[in-house]
Each structure stands twice: as C-alpha cells, then as structure tokens.
Amino acid sequence: MFVKKVMDELERKSVEATKASEKHKIIIILDDIRSMHNVGSVFRTADAFAVEAIYLCGFTPTPPHRDIHKTALGATESVSWQYFEKLEEGVAAAKDKGYTVAAVEQVHESILLNESTYPKSQLALVFGNEVNGVNKSILPAMDCCIEIPQWGAKHSLNISVSVGVVLWELVRNSR
C-alpha cells in the first residue's frame, strides 16, 4: 500500500540552505518569454534541479510579481537570477563564466537530447519565446543546439515542459 509522505518526511531545505547548497553547473537563459506563469514554472523547476542560475532576457517578466510567484511557489527566492536587456548580453555573461552555450531548438545540425555528444557540465541553455522559439539571430553565437526528440504531430512543447525534460536528462545520472 502506498502512503503519501508528510512534509516533515520530505526533508525540505530552507531558502538559505538551498542557496548555499551545491548546484549543477547549469544556467537557464530565457529570452522573450511572454507568460509569467511559464517564468514561475521555470523557477520552480530550476529549484528542483538545483541549477546555478536563471538569466531573464528581453521582455521576459522578472520577479517580484504575483503571477510569477503563483507558479514559482517561492523559488524566486531560492534560485539566483539576473536580468539582461538583450539576449546577447546574457549569452556573453555565460560565456565569460566559461559556460558552453546551447540553444534548445529544432535546427539543422542539432544534437538530440538523448545523445551524449554535447557537453553536460558548465552548460547554459537558451530557451526562446513561446511562439517563435530561440531568436535565429543568436544561433551563430551558440556552441551547439540541442533538440528534444518528439514523435507526435505537433513537434512543440510548452517552454516550462521543455526546461523540465532537458534538465532531467542532464542531471539524472549526476547525483
């Protein structure tokens, strides 16, 4: 018989302990994300996978905002983040820290997420707008592009789902 765990059994860390804990060397770069709910969901997922930071670029909404908080459930306090007016600035900041920068996008010459030919440490992941995806003007600055394999008719995932799928694949064997 399955019995749900109670809160005390989940061993949840405080915000301070979470901030001080070891992080996966992953930066999520969000560019021109329209939905505050998507941004909040990415914060919550980033907290779950202990990523180093989120870079919010362009017109992506930034905390504090009640609609971000609604889905983030406090993760805007436990995940480090920075805002950059331009995507190019966020990409440059990640590269200056020694990160490989990969667009998560469907392009020619992309590497499938389930293949192991892309770097798995010190990786910055660019996720683009809900309608247009990653801005094609930034693609020449990418070190590689990663594509999530899909077998349905749409070949499209919500950005918050894409972030979860990619982070799971990157960290599942690292702990």
Predicted pLDDT of residue 11: 87
61, 76, 111, 154 from 53: Cα distances, Å: 16, 11, 23, 30
What confidence tens digit (pLDDT) does each residue in 88-132 have?
999 999 999 999 999 999 999 999 999 878 877 899 999 999 999
Assign residue 73 a region (left: φ > 0; alpha: ψ between -120 and 50; beta: otherwise). Answer: left
Q: Is the confidence at residue 8, as pLDDT, over 90? A: no
Residue 173: pLDDT over 70 = yes
Tens of pLDDT along 38-49?
Answer: 999 999 999 999
> What are the tens digits of pLDDT across the range 62-94?
999 999 999 999 999 999 999 999 999 999 999
- Portion of the chain with pLDDT greater than 90, in percent: 89
In angstroms, the CA 40 to CA 76 distance is: 8
What letter does residue 140 receive in the DSSP assignment?
A: G
Cα dihedral 33, 113, 125, 143 sign: negative
Task: Give one word for 36, left, alpha or beta, with left for phi > 0 and alpha for psi -120 to 50.
Answer: alpha
| Residue 175: predicted pLDDT | 60
pTM, two decimal places? 0.95
CB contact at 8 A, 24 and 50:
yes
Phi and psi at residue 12, in whole multiples of 5°? -70, 140
pLDDT of 106: 96
Q: How far is CA 130 from the centre of its chain?
A: 14
User: What stretch of H or E contains 67?
Assistant: helix 66-72
- Angstrom distance (rounded) from CA 41 to CA 26: 17
Cα separation, 156 vs 174, in Å, equals 27
* 54, pLDDT greater than 70: yes
